[in-house]
Chain A
Amino acid sequence: MNARDEPTGATGSAAERRRTPPPPSHATPSGIEVPTVVTPDMCAGSAVGRPGQPPFTRSIFADGYRGRLWTFRQYSGFGSAEETNARYRFLLQQGTTGLSVALDLPTQCGFDPDDPMSAGEIGKVGVSLATIAEAELLFRDIDLGSISTSFTINGTAAIIYAMYLAVADRTGVPRSKLTGTIQNDILKEYVARGTWIFPVRPSMRLVADSILYSNRETPRFNPISIAGAHVRDAGCTAVEEMGYTLANGLAYVRELSSRGADPNNFAQRLSFFFYVHMDLFEEVAKFRAGRRLWARLLAERHGVTDPRALMFRFGVVCGGSSLTAAQPYSNVVRVAVENVAAVLGGAQSIFTCAYDEAFQIPTEFSAELALRTQQIIAYESGVARTVDPLGGSYYVEWLTDRMEEEIRKVIDDLDRYGGVERAIEDGYVQSRIAQRAYARKRGRDAGEEVVVGQNYFRGSGQDDDFGEIFHMNADTGRRVCARLRDVRAARNEGDVQRYLDRLAVAAQQSGENVMPYLVDCCHAYATVGEMVARLKGHWGEFREPVRL
């Protein structure tokens, strides 16, 4: 018997499926009570200001999307480098304007494909990238000088960035022309996403090394994307998502400042990344409040005066845990609403999840539909015609003010605890998020939050229609391992060991930047696992505080 056929709770009896949903809540999902009418006096003191001027409530650009639309950046990657290269070329043909590389878990956690820890994981949630040989295949026939590339990579971000630079060096693309982003936000990995490797303090050093090196070598590249998306998907509210993210951002600013760097310069290249979930106005207000608060915090706490350094640039993903496996076609509608929220909030790049993303790697069909959603909103809806079209709305300005107050409280709480680094080492943030996720799940189970097709309005027969199924190439792991063996056999072992030794020495010296050593290792065909092992040798590994 199929285990899913057994009777279950809220999804259970026909009577339960047909029960009446509660009336729409008067509070936002973050718990902000919303009045029936917002009157002009309730938002009279709002710092609305002008688009393009600090604190940028309305937009970081004076002309909004008129100068340039957001980047359509569809996250993709699976299997081997050749398979992913083929999907990228498909997406580019369909009009995607930025690549977004998904990497598999062994690459993200610093294990080579032939490591026992990698068994069963190669190419599963992204592409396997063990050496520069794979990276060259991944970007074959793609001009890195003209297309921006973003990498969702954290624990091994510095290594993958080094590999990207090495590929550009070999294909003759000047480093100064490279655009794109590495996520490189290790703090949230300890809290929500789990691809940490080293302890918190040496990880912060590695992040700072890569940012400082990138500012110098690839000035148009974003060396970090400080991400709230993952804590949000783990169960946080929109307020907490923004609060934890800005707090992490401030921790990186402190780390970089302690290295003698000027925030008026490096802050120009800090970028952010969030989820958009379904509560449209709260999401818009979250982005407007976050944009304003970031500018204010940098000015208040770090004396930043250059307006370019106060600009809060962010990408988003629409979908994630707001999507359901039940009645999956409804997800197309959800993603469209979220996409509109992202545009009204002023996002610089948008990734729309495919409707089947809740349960599988998207098929070519569903991936194309997700991209079409963005194109329809960009070119048919007219929503991007004028900058910040909701600016001056009594409700939106009032909610923006309330969100900013609540977000500040989250940051203040972490400050009182002794900073995010300590809160993470102790497991304080992790425990808060788990408790929040538990309460949210209980609320959903009780029917307090309506998810159409999941806890209400279920049972129309659409449930079983999953559409096309994506089939992973079962042979990927074997082929990736075989090619790694070939690379190891062909490379100059003396060079590899010499460069790895130099990397290890650099890691031991706190005044040294490890980035150039990583680039040398990549050129010599050292593997991600070998580089990580050398760094672990000196820095050790993070010890996860397990607290429920």
Chain B
Amino acid sequence: MNVHPLAGKRILIAKPGLDGHDAGAKVVAIALRDAGADVIYTGLRKSPEYIARVAVDEDVHAVGLSILSGSHNELVAATVAALRELEAGNVKIFVGGTIPRQDVPQLVAAGASGIFSADETLDAMIERIRAALA
């Protein structure tokens, strides 16, 4: 198995909204970095507009949004819209956190390329991201 399956990929890990639980975001950021990606982490409390601007400025392939506050439907839609506003609709969006499974179809319809839960292994997550960015 390729030890750096995400080599050459640039990924922004972001915490939109006010949710302050960042353990998952940091674990994912470290995992993606270990998988060879260039990872940028925004820190807490960023607006969708800010996240989209950083995504464009840093020329990333994907944005990972970490949301545990239940505000995922609003924040994912707003981030997708903000990226489109900056003509960066091709940037893939992944979502992690506490996402009830009944909300998954809505997030996919809104433009999310993958939804991850804490049950999933990091290697499985990396593989899904690799496949989506291939």
Partner-B contacts on A (CB < 8 A): 2-4, 6-12, 105-106, 108-109, 111, 116-121, 124-125, 189, 192-196, 233-235, 321, 324-326, 358-361, 433-435, 437-438, 441-442, 445, 454, 466, 469, 472, 544, 546, 548
B28 to chain A, nearest CB (A): 9
Inter-subunit contact A111/B18 (CB<8 Å): yes
Residues of B within 8 A of A360 (CB): 100
Interface-forming stretch among B3-11, B52-60, B84-92, B114-122?
A: B114-122
Inter-subunit contact A121/B122 (CB<8 Å): no
A160 to chain B, nearest CB (A): 16
Bound complex: CA of A438 vs CA of B34, how far in Å? Answer: 11
Inter-subunit contact A235/B69 (CB<8 Å): no
Q: Which 5 A-B pairs have the closest CB atoms?
A: A194-B20, A120-B74, A9-B124, A9-B121, A105-B18
Inter-subunit contact B121/A438 (CB<8 Å): no
Inter-subunit contact A548/B23 (CB<8 Å): no
Inter-subunit contact B18/A326 (CB<8 Å): no
**A548 touching B26 in the complex, CB below 8 Å, given contacts A4-B101, A6-B128, A117-B47:** yes
**A324 touching B119 in the complex, CB below 8 Å, given contacts A6-B128, A105-B69:** yes
Asked whether any CB of chain A lies closer than 8 Å to the CB of B110, the reply is no
Partner of A435, one of B30, B42, B44, B105: B30
Closest to B23 in A: A234
The secondary structure that dominates the B interface is mixed
**A472 touching B23 in the complex, CB below 8 Å, given contacts A4-B117, A111-B18:** no
Bound complex: CA of A2 vs CA of B98, how far in Å? Answer: 16
Partner-A contacts on B (CB < 8 A): 17-23, 26-27, 29-31, 33, 39, 41-45, 47, 69-71, 73-75, 78, 98, 100-102, 104-105, 108, 112, 114-115, 117-124, 127-128
Bound complex: CA of A4 vs CA of B107, how far in Å? Answer: 12
Bound complex: CA of A518 vs CA of B15, how far in Å? Answer: 31
Q: Which of B41, B71, B105, B123 has the most CB of A within 10 A?
A: B71
Bound complex: CA of A360 vs CA of B101, how far in Å? Answer: 10
Partner of A121, one of B69, B123, B128: B69
B5 to chain A, nearest CB (A): 13
Partner of B124, one of A8, A361, A441: A8
**A3 touching B115 in the complex, CB below 8 Å, given contacts A360-B100, A548-B26, A548-B30:** yes
Residues of A within 8 A of B102 (CB): 469
Inter-subunit contact B122/A195 (CB<8 Å): no
Bound complex: CA of A546 vs CA of B22, how far in Å? Answer: 11
Bound complex: CA of A442 vs CA of B30, how far in Å? Answer: 11
29 contacts between A and B (CB under 8 A): A2-B104, A3-B108, A3-B114, A4-B115, A8-B120, A9-B124, A11-B119, A11-B124, A105-B20, A109-B45, A117-B45, A119-B74, A121-B18, A121-B69, A124-B71, A125-B19, A194-B21, A195-B20, A325-B118, A358-B98, A360-B100, A433-B23, A437-B27, A438-B26, A454-B119, A469-B100, A548-B30, A548-B33, A548-B39
Inter-subunit contact A233/B23 (CB<8 Å): yes
B7 to chain A, nearest CB (A): 18
Residues of A within 8 A of B101 (CB): 2, 4, 359, 466
Closest to A230 in B: B21
Closest to B102 in A: A469
Bound complex: CA of A119 vs CA of B77, how far in Å? Answer: 12
Bound complex: CA of A321 vs CA of B29, how far in Å? Answer: 19
Residues of A within 8 A of B44 (CB): 194, 544
Closest to A546 in B: B43
Residues of A within 8 A of B33 (CB): 548
Residues of B within 8 A of A108 (CB): 18
Residues of A within 8 A of B122 (CB): 441-442, 445
Partner of A125, one of B23, B69, B108: B69
